[in-house]
A and B are shown apart, each in its own frame.
Chain A
Amino acid sequence: MTITEDVPHTSKGFFTDTSVCIGCKACEVACKQWNQLPMDDLVWMGSSYDNTHHLSSTTWRHVSFAELPGAGGAGGQTNWLMMSDVCKHCQHAGCLEACPTGAIIRTEFDTVVVQQDVCNGCNYCVPACPYGVIEVNMTASTGDGKAHKCTLCYDRLKDGLEPACAKACPTDSIQFGDIGDLQERAQQRVEDLRQKGLDAYIYGTEDMGGGQGIGNLGAQFLLLDKPQRYNLPEHPTLPQNRTLPGVLVMTVTALALSLATAWSLRKG
């Protein structure tokens, strides 16, 4: 991990407020444009207005649309959920912990970035992400066999620019900044919305969405319904929590079976 002296060394992240998201997908397109990502397969799913379906190696921002029963009625936004999803830049990132090559690093902005020149495409980061974010691009035509995901616009941050997606968002649903500030803003916003009678909460804290080894998320979200309806787990774990206990159990088992074998094979 490199730390450049002249860049202020603060934790940067996102607060995505879904209560003001209009589902315009400007963020999704801005990300693709800035990062020159290719078009995905053309699939029409008939699931509301979402035809890109999930984050992938070529879609680093993804706007989901959950039409719930009652959409079209009085409930408005709570019946038609729109949310712009992105890599969570976890405090303790499953992908980073899993990566055997060190291709995934934590930057001076406290963000999680894949260095494609190091990645060897082993795929292990893929199932290690608790949010299904990172993917290795194995597409025959455009795939480079390396892992890709949101860089939190590392290149733009370096130049003092805000990320392309946040810049493009017309309603400031995506807010970029210092994590501390964002968390305060998020808390305030939740309180405001609760006063208006909305069941808003923050996703990405120790209590919800993060925790269990993952810690806080660098990208937090204000949600209005169960996380599952946004395709997010309620309380995931850092999978590497299981490594050390796993090694112990395995060693004990192997030693036991070795002893049993020794006992069976012993002379005499």
Chain B
Amino acid sequence: MEEYSDTRTATSQVQDTYYGLPAVRAPHWRWLVIFYFFFGGVAGATYTIGAVAEAVSADRRVVRAARYLAAAAFLPCPPLLILDLGRPERALNMFRILKLKSPMSLGSWALFFAGGFATLGAGLQLAEDLLKRDLLPGPRRLVMLAGVPFSIFLSGYTGILLAATNIPLWWRSFPFLSPTFVGSAYSASLCAITLFLGLDREETRDTGRRLARAESICLAAELTFLTTALVRLGAIGRPLRTGKIGLIFWPVTYVGGILVPLLLQLSGPARGKEVTGPRRTAAAMLPLIGSLSLRAVMIFAGRESANRPEDYFAMTSRAAER
């Protein structure tokens, strides 16, 4: 009998997967969720930074900016979330129960309370601005501190939410995904405060410097977590690193969103000079874009990852080290 060469058949495509069909399913999440992840993270981080600033009696303007910004960042969150639901009219069902093992349940409640505190904070600030005096300085500080646990949760739970799924890329990024998100939320939030206060203004120069220092620390942390995650991901990180998503991830998220602003911030002290002008502007804006893009590429890469049964099987094989 003649030999046949490599003709594609109904048979030969089967290797160690089932015709290459996905073994797990991705959620349908897209931009609504990405923006929610971004604003929620920023809202949580900003609130926390505001409370921290108040506690360490930093520049009042920082506190004021954080209060307004936290509320502003929170504001779009509920509509974004609700719009994304398959049945938006049932959004309130999120609050039927609390599930300690469900990041989404925890997150919903966190958002509820954090949002409440953020609104309260902004309300207070508005009252103070209008009345032009401090209101209840003692209890106020305590009340604002009470919102911190929720805000901390809000700043990073979305990373847990992703990691606590079976999408290989998200799962494999554990436990670094949530810290990366936290780092990126903090840096973005510091940038937002910086931009709110205005760059290079005489009266805020010192605060600006301090904010920049904090931003550098957060960016450095984010970079470390993300790089560790990438290393850990190995082959499973391909959907993130390569293809169209890779074309966004490397220039926009990794280099443009983290590395460049970090280097810009560090370039001043390195030269013993202050970072000013366009460099300063860039360093204060890039992390915001980076932070948004980080969430976008993670979501999209996760969707792609779900379509790679070989990745899922590699992770769930008995041999896989966990």
Contacts and interface: CB of A to CB of B under 8 A. Distances in A.
B157 A266 contact: no
Given A239-B164, A254-B155, A261-B218, A233 B27 contact: no
Nearest to A230: B18
Contacts of B26: 126-127
B174 interface: yes
B65 to A, nearest CB: 12
Interface residues of A, number: 81
A37 interface: no
A187 interface: no
A228 interface: yes
Nearest to B207: A265
Nearest to B12: A69
Contact of B171 (A45, A103, A242, A247): A242
A189 interface: no
Most chain B Cβ neighbours within 10 Å, of A68, A122, A134: A122
Nearest to B177: A246
Interface string A106-146: 00000000000011111110111111101111100001111
Interface stretch (A93-101, A178-186, A193-201): A93-101
Contacts of A118: 90, 93, 96
B36 to A, nearest CB: 12
Given A228-B16, A229-B18, A233-B316, A47 B10 contact: yes
B16 A120 contact: no
A243 B102 contact: yes
Contacts of A101: 90, 93-94, 96-97
B190 interface: yes
Most chain A CB neighbours (cut-off 10 Å) among B12, B85, B91: B85
Contacts of B100: 243
> DSSP class of B's interface residues: helix, strand, loop or mixed?
helix
B17 A127 contact: no
B99 A242 contact: no
Contacts of A244: 101
A235 B318 contact: yes
B93 to A, nearest CB: 4
Interface string A65-82: 011110100000000000
A7 interface: no
Contacts of A261: 49, 52-53, 186, 190, 214, 217-218
A257 B11 contact: no
Interface string B170-202: 110011001100110010001000000000000
A47 B21 CA distance: 10
Contact of B103 (A241, A243, A253): A243
A129 B306 CA distance: 12
B278 to A, nearest CB: 23
B17 A231 contact: yes
Nearest to A143: B86
Contacts of A120: 85-88, 90-91, 93-94
A69 B23 contact: no
B253 interface: no
A57 B165 CA distance: 19
B165 A239 contact: yes
A68 B101 contact: no
Interface in B15-62: 16-19, 21-29, 45, 48-49, 52-53, 55-59, 62
Contacts of B105: 99-100
B167 interface: yes
B136 interface: no
B312 A126 contact: no
B164 A265 contact: no
Interface in B129-170: 148, 152-153, 155-157, 159-161, 163-167, 170
A88 B180 CA distance: 34
Contacts of A123: 27-29, 86
B160 A242 contact: yes
Contacts of B53: 261-262, 265
Contacts of B19: 45, 47, 50, 66
A18 to B, nearest CB: 13
A247 B86 CA distance: 27
B84 to A, nearest CB: 8
B309 interface: yes
A240 B103 CA distance: 8
A153 interface: no
A228 B17 contact: yes
A244 B157 CA distance: 11
Given A98-B102, A254-B152, 13 more contacts: A48-B11, A54-B21, A97-B99, A99-B105, A100-B97, A123-B27, A129-B166, A131-B24, A145-B87, A228-B313, A230-B18, A247-B153, A264-B217
- Sort A-B residue pairs by CB-CB distance and give the 8 closest, nearest first: A121-B86, A145-B86, A231-B18, A246-B160, A120-B90, A233-B316, A127-B165, A123-B27
28 contacts: A48-B10, A68-B11, A97-B99, A100-B94, A100-B108, A102-B97, A120-B91, A128-B166, A132-B24, A138-B28, A228-B17, A228-B23, A233-B313, A235-B318, A236-B316, A242-B175, A244-B101, A246-B163, A246-B175, A250-B153, A250-B179, A253-B221, A257-B221, A258-B52, A260-B221, A262-B52, A264-B210, A267-B58
